[in-house]
Amino acid sequence: MPIVRILIIGFLVWLALVLATRVLNRAKLKQQTKKDQTESPAPRIVRCAECGTYIPEKSAISRNGKHFCSDHA
């Protein structure tokens, strides 16, 4: 077997490995970003029952099934 053929085959094997790794990494990354999106959905916005200000549910104070902003808690 001529050395050139060995080199070409070696190069092709290396190229296949690089491409396979790249595709796998991309698939993994895609999966991860998808997972991140499902884990942290857009924050829910609620309305203060007192002044009508829209606030993220996280920082809203709930009382008697109603949401209030920090000023009207």
Contact residues: Zn ion, CB under 5 A = 48, 50-51, 69, 72
For residues 23 and 29, what is the distance between their CA atoms, to the nearest angstrom? Answer: 10
In the complex, what is the shortest distance from the CB of residue 42 to Zn ion, in angstroms, rounded to a whole number? 22
For Zn ion, give the closer residue by CB, 50 or 57: 50
In the complex, what is the shortest distance from the CB of residue 49 to Zn ion, in angstroms, rounded to a whole number? 8
CB 68, CB 60: distance < 8 Å: yes
For residues 33 and 19, what is the distance between their CA atoms, to the nearest angstrom? Answer: 21
For Zn ion, give the closer residue by CB, 46 or 69: 69
